[in-house]
Structure 1
Amino acid sequence: RQPASIARHCCPTRGAEGLWGASAPPLGAGCTCARAAAVPRGCPHFHSPAQSASECCTAARALPARPMAGPAAGGEGGGSRAYGAQDDNACGDTWHTLYPATINPLLRSMQYAMRGEIYLKAQAMKAAGRDVMYLNLGNPQSLGQKPFTFNRQVLALCVGGEALLGDEAVCAALPADVVARARELLKSTSGGVGSYTDSRGLRAVRDHVAEFITARDGTSERCCPESIYLSDGASGAVNMCLTAVIRGRQDGVLVPVPQYPLYSALIELHGGQFLGYELDESHAWGFNMEVLEESVRAARAKGITPRALVFINPGNPTGQCLSKGELQQLAAFARREKLVLMADEVYQSNVWTPERDFVSMRGALLSCEPDVRDHVELISFHTVSKGLQGECGLRGGYMQLTNIHSEAEGLLYKLASVTLCANVVGQLAVDVMVKPPLEGEPSYELFAEEQSALRGSLERKARRMSAAFDALDGMHCNSSEGALYVFPRLDLSPRAVAAAQEAERAADLFYCLELLEATGLVLVPGSGFGQKDGTWHMRTTILPPEERVEEVITKVSDFHNSFMAKYS
C-alpha cells in the first residue's frame, strides 16, 4: 500500500498538483502509462476516475511486458518494454530509491513464516467480518491471558512516576511491596522511564537478573551483572549476536530444523549461511550428534565456516526439553568445533512434564570438565514475552555472556550503544519477571494464586491438544514437554500433495490455507520452520482460552477428516 500522496505520482503524464503544478492533466485524461491497461480498478495504477488512490496494487510491479504508446514509450509509434521488478523506471517511477529492484537484496530474500501468506489472508478475512482466531504466534495476551497483578501494578507506578507515587491515596491503595519496588526501580533511573539508561540496561535490573541466574543454576559461581545486556525482547539480543558472529557469506550458523524462523531470517539478512541440523521426530525431537557432525563436515566441504550453534530449549516449534547430559554433549561439541553456543531459553518457565525439569546451558556448562567449562563461548537469551509472563508487547529481554573475550564484549557494548538502550518499560518488565514477590510479602499470596492457575491451565491444554491431534487418522503428535505449542505431523495423501503442487504451494501450506478458510483458525505450516523432506507439519499454540480449547479441537478434527476424505 502507498499513501495517496505517493500513489498519485505513478503516472508520468498526469502527475499531481503538488509535484507537477496545477496544470497537470485531469485523472485519466491522455494517460499513456503502460500499467493503466493491465491493473484492476481500485489500484492507483489504473488511471480512471474510479480509482482509489489509497490502495496500491503491488502485483503491478511484476506485470509482464506490454506495448506502450506515446511519449512514455519513447515516441509516437510506441514500442514494447518490460516493467516488472527489474525496471526502476516503470510507470514513470524514476524518483524512488527504495524500489524492489534496488532495495537490499538480502531483505528481499529474507523469509519469515509467522506473518506470511496465511497471516495476510487471515487479516483480509477479519476485515471482511469473519471470525478469526490467531494461533500462529506465542502471543498469550492476544488470546485472553491476563497479566500478573503485581507486575502491572509496579509498572503502572513506574510509568506514572511521581504523579502516582506522590499521591498518598494511590500508594495506600496498593500493596507496600509494590510501592517499594516502584520507588527502587525509579530511583535507579536518571529521570524516570522516559530517560535513557546505560546501553546494557539499568544496573539495578541487571543485578536482579544476575541473582536470578545464580539461584536458578544452583552453582557456586555467581553470575556477574556486567555479563548481562537488557534488550528489546530476546529477538533484539539475537540480532546483536548474529551481527557479531556473521562476517560474510563464508560464515554459517548451525540451527535446529524445525527452527524458529527468526534465525533463518536474520542469518539471511546478515548475509550468512543457514546450516540446518535435523532433529529426530521419532525420538521426541531429540538431536543426533552424528547429524550435527555431518552438518559441520558438509559446510566445511563447501568452504563455509561454521561459527555458531543455536539450540532452542524447550523447543520451538517442537516442545522438547533437553537434559543436562544432552546439553553437556552440545558444549563438548562446541569446544571441539570452536563454535559459539547460542542458547535460546525463552520458554524455560514453560515445562509441562514433571520428569523433565528445565536445565540451563550455563548450569550444564559450569558442571563440565574444566577444558569445556572454561573454553566454550556461550550467549543465553530470555524474555518477558514467553514463560508465564506473556508480556510480548512490552519488548523486554536479556542476553547473558559466558566466556566471551573481553574485547569482543567491548565491541558488543559498542553495538548496543548504537541504539543507546533497550526500552525502559521492557527493562522494568524483566525486573518483575526475575524478582517476583517472595513468601511473606504482601503481594505474594495473589501472585502465587495467579501463577498456579495459569501454569495448571497451560499444562492441561498442552496435554489435551497433543492427545487430541495424535488420535486423528493421518496425524501424529508428540506430547509437548514444554514451550507453548504442539507440532503435529500430517500424513497427507499423494492426491493432496499433487493438489498443493498444482496450486504452487507446499502441501502443509495448502492444508493450512484450506483450514483457515473453513474454520477461521490461523496456524503455521511446518514448511515455514523447515522439516525433513517428504514430511508435513503444522504448529498451533496452546494459548486459546481453556473454555475454547474443545472448540478448536473440534474445528481442526472436522476439517482434517473432511480434507483427508476429499483427497483420499
Structure 2
Amino acid sequence: MYAAGVRAAVDCGLRLGWRLTDRGAGPAGAWGSAASLITEGAASLLRDNGRNGDRVLTIGNMNPQVRAAEYAVRGPIVIKAAEIEKELQQGSQKPFTEVIRANIGDAHAMGQQPITFLRQVVALCTDPELFESPQFPADAKERAQRILLDCGGQSLGSYSASQGLDCIRRDVAKYVETRDGGIPADPDNIYITTGASDGIITIMKLLVSGEGRMRTGLMIPIPQYPLYSAAISELNAVQINYYLDEDNGWALDKNELKRNVNAAREYCNPKALCIINPGNPTGQVQSKKCIEDVITFAYEEKLFLLADEVYQENIYSKDCKFHSFKKVLHEMGPEYSNTVELVSFHSTSKGYTGECGFRGGYMEVINMDPEVQAQLEKLLSVRLCSPVPGQVAMDVVVNPPKPGEESYEMFTLEKMGILHNLAEKAKLTEKVLNTIPGMRCNHLQGAMYAFPRIFIPSKAIIEAETHGMAPDMFYCMRLLEETGICVVPGSGFGQKEGTYHFRMTILLPVEKLKVLLQNIKEFHTKFLQKHA
C-alpha cells in the first residue's frame, strides 16, 4: 500500500515536470533527496482528488505557439533573482546584501525621478478638484482641461475612441511634423497604443498569413529585442534573421539583408522588415545613409517596414543624430514616399520620461492600403482603447511646455539633466567594460543598454553543457549567484554562433553603476582564472 502510494506520488511529480535532481541532488543521491518531492506529489494528489489527469487545459494541449515563445528580459535569470531576493529578506547569508537588477530598461525602478510636468497633468486629469489648487501651474491645467473636454463625461475613467483621444492624436501629428521639419502628418494615421509593444504586435497580426512555403516571414535584426521573436513564435510566423555587424559598430549591411531574404524565399514568404533605431540591445544609431539603404531594399523587395523608434530621444554620441524613417522616406522622393509601406512606433517608456508603467505609446502608418487600415481599426476596436492615463502621459511627451510657459524652465532642466546623466553613464559603462580583459564593448551611441561581448573559456562552456545551459546563461547565472547582479544573457537576444554577450541597462544611479561595473570586473577576472 505504502509503495503504491509512493509510486503514485512520484508519477504525479513526473507528470508535473519534476525531476529528482531538481533540488540539487546528484545521480547517486537522487533518491535520498526525493522525500520532499514525494511529499509534494502526494499532497498534489490529495489536493486534486485524482482529477489532475482530467484537466481540460494542459501543457501538452495548450497553444504550442505560446509555449514556444520566450522573453529573455523576464526569463530564468530574473526568476532566480526574485528567489534570491526572498532569501535575503528571510536572513539568508550571501556574498552580497542586495540584488542589483540591471536586466530591464525601467528607469523609475532604477531611481529616476518623474518629470514634474507630466505627473501634474496626469494628476489634474485624474482628480479635477486639483484645478482649485494654486500648487499646479497654469500650463498644466490648460493641457489637462483640454484633454478632459475630449473625454466622455469629462472623465479619465471613460473609454476613448479606439484610435485614442482626438486631441492627443492631433498633438502627436503636430509633434511628428515639427520633429521632421514640417513634413505633414495626418492625425487619422496616428493610433495611440498600449506602449509601443501593443502597436508592434497589432501590425504583426495584420501581416501574418499563409501556410507552408507561403507562411509570412518577418525579418528582424540579430541581436534583437525579444518581443519580436516571441511575437513571431506566438503568431506562427517565420523568423528571418539578419545579423548586425558587431565589428563595425553594429552596422546594418544591405548585402546581409539581401542574402537572408533570398535564402528565406526558399521556405517562406518574406513580407516585412523590422528595424530598431537606436538599437536595443546594441545601442547603435543608424546613419541617414543606412536608413536610405534599408528603404531602398524594402522598395526593391516589396517589404513592409516596421520602424521601432522608441529611443529617439536617447542619443549620446556627438557624432550621431536621430533620423526618422518617415523623414528619410519623404526626402527620397515620390517614387519611394508614395509606395513604401511604413509603420513607426514611439513610447512613454523610454526617452527622458521613463514612464513604463503608464503603458503609453503611438504608431503612425504610412501608405497603408485603405482596406487594410479599416481592418486595423477593427482589430484595435476589439480591445476598446488603450489606457487613457497612458494616453495623457503620451500627450505630455509630444506636447511639453513651450518657451514662455510657466513650466518651461523646470521641464527643460529636468529633461536635459536626465539625458546628460544618461550620456555620462553610457560613457562610464563603455569605458569600464573595455578595461576588463576578455570583454569588449562597442561605442554606446544611444538607447539605454550595453551589450558587451564576453570571452568564455572552453572549460566553462563544457561545464555549462553539463548544466543544460547556454554558455552565456551559465555565465550570467554565476554572476547573479556570486555578486547579486542581474543581467540578461546575449543568447536571449540572438548573437552570432560562437560569440557570447550579456545585456545590462545603464539606468542605475551613478554610484550604484560604479559598484556594479567594479563587481563585474572582479567577477569576470575570477571566472577566467577559475575556468582557464
How high is the TM-score relative to the length of structure 1? 0.84
Q: 1:495 to 1:326 in 2, by over 3 A?
A: same
Query: What does residue 160 of structure 1 align with?
Result: 127
1:200 to 146, 163, 187: 163
Instruction: Give the deviation of 1:389 after TM superposition.
Output: 0.8
Instruction: Give the deviation of 1:506 after TM superposition.
Output: 0.8
The one of the two structures with greater contact order (alpha-carbon pairs below 8 A, sep at least 6) is 2
**Residue type of the alignment partner of 1:142:** A
Query: What does residue 176 of structure 2 align with?
Result: 213
Deviation readout 1:35-65 (Å, 9 max, x if unpaired): 41467xxxxx69xxxxxxxxxx9534999xx
Alignment of 1:427-446 (within 5 A): 427-446=391-410
Instruction: Give the deviation of 1:383 after TM superposition.
Output: 0.3
Query: What does residue 39 of structure 2 align with?
Result: none
Tell whether 2:220 aligns with 1:255. yes
1:382 to 329, 341, 346: 346
Tell whether 2:97 aligns with 1:138. no
**Residue type of the alignment partner of 2:66:** L
Instruction: Measure, in 1, the Cα distance between the counterparts of 2:119 and 2:333.
Output: 43
Instruction: Measure, in 2, the Cα distance between the counterparts of 1:35 and 1:120.
Output: 30
1:98 to 54, 57, 61: 57
Instruction: Measure, in 1, the Cα distance between the counterparts of 2:341 and 2:392.
Output: 28
**Residue type of the alignment partner of 2:205:** T
Query: What does residue 402 of structure 1 align with?
Result: 366
Instruction: Give the deviation of 1:31 after TM superposition.
Output: 8.4
Tell whether 2:292 aligns with 1:338. no
Greater Cα shift, 368-377 or 533-542: 368-377
Instruction: Measure, in 1, the Cα distance between the counterparts of 2:492 and 2:56.
Output: 31
Q: 1:428 to 1:58 in 2, by over 3 A?
A: farther
Tell whether 2:116 aligns with 1:149. yes
Query: What does residue 330 of structure 2 align with?
Result: 366
Tell whether 2:416 aligns with 1:449. no
Greater Cα shift, 451-460 or 201-210: 451-460
Query: What does residue 222 of structure 1 align with?
Result: 184
Alignment of 1:532-547 (within 5 A): 532-547=496-511
Deviation readout 1:313-342 (Å, 9 max, x if unpaired): 000000010111111111111011111100
SS in 1 for 2:362: strand
Instruction: Give the deviation of 1:94 after TM superposition.
Output: 4.0
Instruction: Measure, in 2, the Cα distance between the counterparts of 1:58 and 1:544.
Output: 39
SS in 2 for 1:173: coil
User: 1:347·1:482 contact (CA, 8 Å) conserved in 2?
Assistant: yes
Q: 1:33 to 1:187 in 2, by over 3 A?
A: farther
Aligned residues: CA RMSD? 2.1
Deviation readout 1:356-390 (Å, 9 max, x if unpaired): 11100001000013211211000000000011110
2:86 to 99, 115, 127: 127
Query: What does residue 485 of structure 2 align with?
Result: 521
SS in 1 for 2:160: coil
Tell whether 2:263 aligns with 1:298. yes
Query: What does residue 91 of structure 2 align with?
Result: none
Deviation readout 1:294-316 (Å, 9 max, x if unpaired): 111111122x0001000100000
SS in 2 for 1:536: coil
Alignment of 1:223-238 (within 5 A): 223-238=185-200
Q: 1:35 to 1:274 in 2, by over 3 A?
A: farther
SS in 1 for 2:320: coil
Instruction: Measure, in 2, the Cα distance between the counterparts of 1:435 and 1:150.
Output: 11
User: 1:314·1:321 contact (CA, 8 Å) conserved in 2?
Assistant: yes
SS in 2 for 1:275: strand
Q: 1:256 to 1:35 in 2, by over 3 A?
A: farther
**Residue type of the alignment partner of 2:130:** L
For the pair shown, the structure with the greater C-alpha radius of gyration is 1
Tell whether 2:244 aligns with 1:279. yes
Instruction: Measure, in 1, the Cα distance between the counterparts of 2:8 and 2:389.
Output: 48
Query: What does residue 240 of structure 1 align with?
Result: 202
Query: What does residue 567 of structure 1 align with?
Result: 531
Alignment of 1:541-556 (within 5 A): 541-556=505-520
Q: 1:503 to 1:311 in 2, by over 3 A?
A: same
Instruction: Measure, in 2, the Cα distance between the counterparts of 1:178 and 1:124.
Output: 42
Instruction: Measure, in 2, the Cα distance between the counterparts of 1:359 and 1:34.
Output: 65
Instruction: Measure, in 2, the Cα distance between the counterparts of 1:288 and 1:297.
Output: 15
Q: 1:29 to 1:231 in 2, by over 3 A?
A: farther
Tell whether 2:1 aligns with 1:36. no
Deviation readout 1:209-241 (Å, 9 max, x if unpaired): 00000110114x310000011010000001100
Tell whether 2:427 aligns with 1:463. yes
Tell whether 2:446 aligns with 1:479. no
Query: What does residue 145 of structure 2 align with?
Result: 183
Instruction: Give the deviation of 1:32 after TM superposition.
Output: 4.6
Instruction: Measure, in 1, the Cα distance between the counterparts of 2:398 and 2:219.
Output: 30
Instruction: Measure, in 1, the Cα distance between the counterparts of 2:316 and 2:210.
Output: 40
**Residue type of the alignment partner of 2:173:** A
Structure 1, unaligned runs of 5 or more: 1-27, 40-44, 47-56, 64-88
Query: What does residue 59 of structure 1 align with?
Result: 17
Instruction: Measure, in 2, the Cα distance between the counterparts of 1:554 and 1:59.
Output: 39
Deviation readout 1:241-298 (Å, 9 max, x if unpaired): 0100011451110000000000000001001001000000011000111111111111
SS in 2 for 1:379: strand
Q: 1:92 to 1:433 in 2, by over 3 A?
A: same
How high is the TM-score relative to the length of structure 2? 0.90
Instruction: Measure, in 2, the Cα distance between the counterparts of 1:554 and 1:442.
Output: 43
Deviation readout 1:141-166 (Å, 9 max, x if unpaired): 001001100000110111113x333x
Query: What does residue 290 of structure 2 align with?
Result: 326
SS in 1 for 2:461: helix
User: 1:324·1:364 contact (CA, 8 Å) conserved in 2?
Assistant: yes
User: 1:35·1:91 contact (CA, 8 Å) conserved in 2?
Assistant: no
Instruction: Give the deviation of 1:95 after TM superposition.
Output: 3.9
Structure 2, unaligned runs of 5 or more: 22-47, 89-96
User: 1:154·1:179 contact (CA, 8 Å) conserved in 2?
Assistant: yes
Q: 1:185 to 1:473 in 2, by over 3 A?
A: same
Deviation readout 1:502-522 (Å, 9 max, x if unpaired): 221111111000000111111
